[in-house]
Amino acid sequence: MDNTQSRTTSADALVIFGVTGDLAHKMIFPALYAMAKRGTLTLPVIGVAGSSLSPAQLRKRATESIRQKGKIEDRAALDHLLSSLQYVGGDYNAPATFDALKQALGDARRPAHYLAIPPTLFETVINGLGAAGLADQARVIVEKPFGRDLASARELNRVALSVFAEDAIFRIDHYLGKEAIMNILYFRFANSFLEPIWNRDHVASVQITLAEDFGVKDRGTFYESAGCLRDVIQNHLFQIVALLAMEPPAYQGFGAVHSEKAKVFQAMRPLRPDDVVRGQYAGYRKEPGVAKNSDVETYCALRMFIDSWRWEGVPWYLRSGKCMATTAGEVLVELKPPPQRLFDDSAPVDGRANYLRFRLSPNSAVALAARVKRAGKEFVGDQRELYLLDGQIGEETPYERLLSDAMAGDGALFTREDAVEAAWAVVDPVLTDHTKAHRYEPGGWGPKQADALIAPHGCWHNPAPGKTAK
């Protein structure tokens, strides 16, 4: 099969499978509206779902979705989006549904098929597209989770690659579309001062925290099938690790970035049970869709190592959880203290030496902590942060950016087959071989057992809810 055009030409139609679902309502319609406001939505949008829906009902759902995100300030953009919408209803197992889709596509020959559907339906829809001849010159956008373990990821890759070429498969992780995540890659390789210290000789440890102050809400059934390790750490946090740990790409191009990220996953030491602490917030078992005796983790902390020349021996500590003290995401790269203590007060403050901090959410920032002398004759000082970057007005939302890139055929912010499988290989040993989840109270920082995990290298850095953190 020749997918050359899918690699070099923009899509001429967007097909959204699962257009009546939660993801489309919360994320995709607002992203399409934002694209319409920028003037970048220039192709028909065809929604596909199993329910019977009129075009007017679909337009109403889209309008309600956009209104829930805020005031509709550009009526012309909304009208443009609504006029672009079409709908095809039918069973994903029925060839007639794909025949109706082919008819709705009309003259479009390079559609982008977005699978905003449960993972159990991925194979059905991909095979249906192939059988209907709707995959030639097309591309497919697959929502995470891409598999639930190494075996299922390999099987899903096999199915997808039997219909689409690798560079026509866009495995979407919305976290990679965040401005703050993209800035990690830029900051690392656009600044020459960082490279000499970005290695095992100068870095003591790396921490990544992604915390949410709310529970599973109405996603109890989904969380029972996933858990925090699968839902957040294996994809979102591992992607951040890869950007922080990768070697400089050999050339300017997303293929080089993908290759270096894959090498990081391949160098990660497979996890063991004593590398992982699992937690479950008090009250989780009372959530709708949750089993009364559930042992699914809503919190996960882990210690990992990357067996590479650059990072040998440096511990990486990752944690994520629900019902935490705040909603925030941060990276803390702690540097080793100076080799000689020339000043009495120059020991690490509260166990913390100089560090580089990436604030990922809710606002974006980069900060460098360094000691500064106080005024006077005494050689004493304080550790303070030099604040380097704040969030910028006019940022694209992650889904707006990723949808635009996928339709343009730009795979820079998507995940490659080898990287997906290598990441699953790291967590596969502990998906079932682990200790029971420890109970923790909402509003804190998870179970105390996670403190013992990091104790040999200090303590957790708890992100503050405001702009800066101490």
Q: What pLDDT, in 10s, does the model give residues 57-105?
A: 999 999 999 999 888 889 999 999 999 999 999 999 999 999 999 999 9
The tokens describing 214, both together, are: 């709310």
Q: Do 433 and 441 form a contact (C-beta atoms < 8 A)?
A: no
Beta-ladder partners of 171: 142, 415
The tokens describing 259, both together, are: 């290759």
Q: Which of 25, 80, 113, 236 is catalytic?
A: 236
pLDDT at 467 over 50: no
pTM: 0.90
What is the structure's pLDDT at 376?
Answer: 82
**Given CA atoms 58, 63, 66, 68 in this order, what sign does their dihedral have?**
negative
Q: Do 42 and 139 form a contact (C-beta atoms < 8 A)?
A: no
Q: What is the C-alpha separation between 54 and 67, in angstroms, rounded?
A: 20
Segment 234-266, tens digit of pLDDT: 999 999 999 999 999 998 888 889 999 999 999
Q: What is the C-alpha separation between 24 and 49, in angstroms, rounded?
A: 11
Read off the pLDDT band of 145 (50, 70, 90): confident
Residue identified by tokens 């440096």 is 314
Least confident of 311-315, 391-395, 401-405, 433-437: 391-395
| Between 242 and 143, the higher pLDDT residue | 242
How far the first Cα of the chain sits from its last, in Å, is 56
CA geometry: angle 115, 116, 117, nearest 5 deg? 90
Q: What is the C-alpha separation between 30 and 25, in angstroms, rounded?
A: 8
Least confident of 248-257, 399-408, 417-426, 461-470: 461-470
What is the structure's pLDDT at 182?
Answer: 87
Residues 6+ apart with CB under 8 A from 447: 277, 279, 299, 438, 439, 440
**Given CA atoms 24, 27, 29, 35 in this order, what sign does their dihedral have?**
negative
Q: What is the C-alpha separation between 324 and 299, in angstroms, rounded?
A: 9
What is the structure's pLDDT at 6?
Answer: 40
Give which of 382, 337, 389 is closest to 358, Cα–Cα. 389
pLDDT at 199 over 70: yes
Q: Do 206 and 310 form a contact (C-beta atoms < 8 A)?
A: no
Segment 284-323, tens digit of pLDDT: 999 999 999 999 999 999 999 999 999 999 999 999 999 9
pLDDT at 468 over 70: no
Q: Do 21 and 116 form a contact (C-beta atoms < 8 A)?
A: yes
**Given CA atoms 288, 290, 293, 297 in this order, what sign does their dihedral have?**
negative
pLDDT at 138 over 90: yes
Say if residue 394 is exposed, middle or buried (CB neighbours under 10 Å; 0-12, 13-18, 19+).
exposed
Rounded to whole angstroms, the maximal C-alpha distance in the chain is 84
Q: Is residue 174 among the annotated active site residues?
A: no
CB 21: neighbour CB atoms within 10 A? 16
